[in-house]
Chain A
C-alpha cells in the first residue's frame, strides 16, 4: 500500500508539472492573446489538480487518513477547475474589449461585425 501511494505521488506530481510546462510553452507559441487565455486551461484544469492530488496522497502516505484534509482537497480541486475558468472568462472578455486584436485567421468573427 505504501509503495503504491509513493508511485502514485511521483506519477501525479511529474504529470501535473508536465501539463503546466505544456501550457507555458503553448503560451509562448500562441499567435494572439485570446489563444493564450485558452492555453491557460491545461495548467489550471489538469496540471494543478494533479499536483494537489500528489500533495494529498503524500499526506495519506506520511500521515493517517483525515476527513478535514479530504474536504480541503476536494474544495481545492473544485476551486482550481471552476473558479479559475470564471477568471479566465472574465479576462478573455476584458482582453477582447481592450482591443487585443485576435489572429487574422479567426474564422467566426461575429463580435467584430
Chain B
C-alpha cells in the first residue's frame, strides 16, 4: 500500500511537470490561469497523500480548506484576465 501511495505521488509530480510545460507553451493568459489552477489542485493532492505518511489528521483538514478557499485564486485570476471589469 505504501508503494501505491508513492506511485500516486510520482504521478502527481509528473502531472505538475506536464502542467508547467503547458504553462510555458501557453499563448494567452487564460490558459496559464487554468493550468495554474490544475497545479494548485495537484498540490492539494500532494498534501492529502503526504499527510498519510505522518499519520496526521491534518491532511483531510488541509484538503478541505484548500478546496473550499482555493477557488478565490481562480476568481482572482478571472478578474485579472478581464482587467478588473466584471
Contacts and interface: CB of A to CB of B under 8 A. Distances in A.
Contacts, number: 189
B71 A55 contact: no
Contact of B14 (A21, A62, A88, A95): A21
Contacts of B30: 33-34, 36-37, 91, 94-95, 98, 100
A66 to B, nearest CB: 9
Given A20-B41, A87-B75, A100-B28, A51 B67 contact: no
A52 B81 contact: no
Interface of B: 1, 3-5, 7-12, 14-16, 18-19, 21-22, 25, 28-31, 33-35, 37-38, 41-42, 44-45, 48-49, 51-52, 55, 57, 59-61, 63-64, 67-68, 70-71, 74-75, 77-79, 81-83, 85
Interface of A: 6-7, 9-11, 13-14, 16-18, 20-21, 23-25, 27-28, 30, 33-34, 36-37, 40, 43-44, 47-48, 51-52, 54-56, 58-59, 62-63, 69, 72-73, 75-76, 79-80, 83-84, 86-88, 90-91, 93-95, 97-100
